[in-house]
Each structure stands twice: as C-alpha cells, then as structure tokens.
Amino acid sequence: MEEDYKIVGIRGATSLKEDHPLELTEKVIELWNEIISKNKINRIISVIFSLTPDIRSLNPATILREKLDLNNVPFMCLEEASFKDSPKKIIRVLVICESSTQYFVYLHDAKNLRTKK
C-alpha cells in the first residue's frame, strides 16, 4: 500500500539548561531524532530554527549539517521574538517536508509551550 505523502510543516521544540555547545548539540540531535522517529518523512524541503535571544553558542543548523551530514537541506536560523514572560533558552524548529504524518515534538521544558494555561 502506497503512503499518502503531502507537504506539511512539523513543529518541534526543546530547551537548554545552559547555553553551552555540548548541551546544544545533544538537545538538537535528540529533538531531530524524535521528529524523524515519530513521522514518516519522505523528503525534507527545508528546516527553520528559531532560538531565544539567550542562546548564542552555536547554530543548530550547523549541528545537523556537520553531525548528520544534511548538506543538501536548506536551513535557516532566526532569533525568536521576545515578549513579556517568554520562556528562556528555547530552540524551536519547523521542518517543511513531504510526510504522511504530522506529529509535533516538544521536549524538556519546551513541553510547557503546548500546554493550556
């Protein structure tokens, strides 16, 4: 049976305790692996990261390019808008892809981004 692939946006986010390259690398790879394992992605079109202004140690796109050899994927990384009471040390991602699923992934303190208050 053939999968019903369509173009979707898959959201995800994670958090850091400290802005340190090792923790950032670990959390970005963990988030990426969870998104890939929970979704049936046929083709990645592009990936957009946003980081809260307190994360400066490393670009998450560089992590995926270098550690996972995703050199043919167009990446963009932006600074997240800051609002009153915005959570700190959050990495968000939007994976634009062909997929037959669309399961979002929120890890660590970023789980609070998807809970109703």
Question: Has residue 110 been placed in a domain?
Answer: yes
Domain that holds residue 60: 6-114
- The single-letter DSSP state of residue 14 is E
CATH code: domain of residue 71: 3.30.1330.40
Asked if 61 and 47 touch (Cβ cutoff 8 Å), the reply is: yes
Q: What is the dihedral of CA 36, 41, 43, 46, to 10 degrees?
A: -50
pLDDT in tens, 20-32: 999 999 999 999 9
Q: With respect to residue 1, please indicate whether it lies within any of the assigned structural domains.
A: no
Q: What's the average model confidence in pLDDT over 39-49?
A: 97
Length of the chain: 117
Domains of the chain: total:
1
Q: Residue 114's pLDDT is what? A: 73
The pLDDT confidence band at residue 117, using thresholds 50, 70 and 90, is very low
- pLDDT given at position 85: 87
Tokens 């929120």 -> residue: 106
Instruction: Judge whether 31 and 15 are in contact, CB under 8 Å.
Output: no
Other CB atoms within 10 A of residue 27 CB: 21
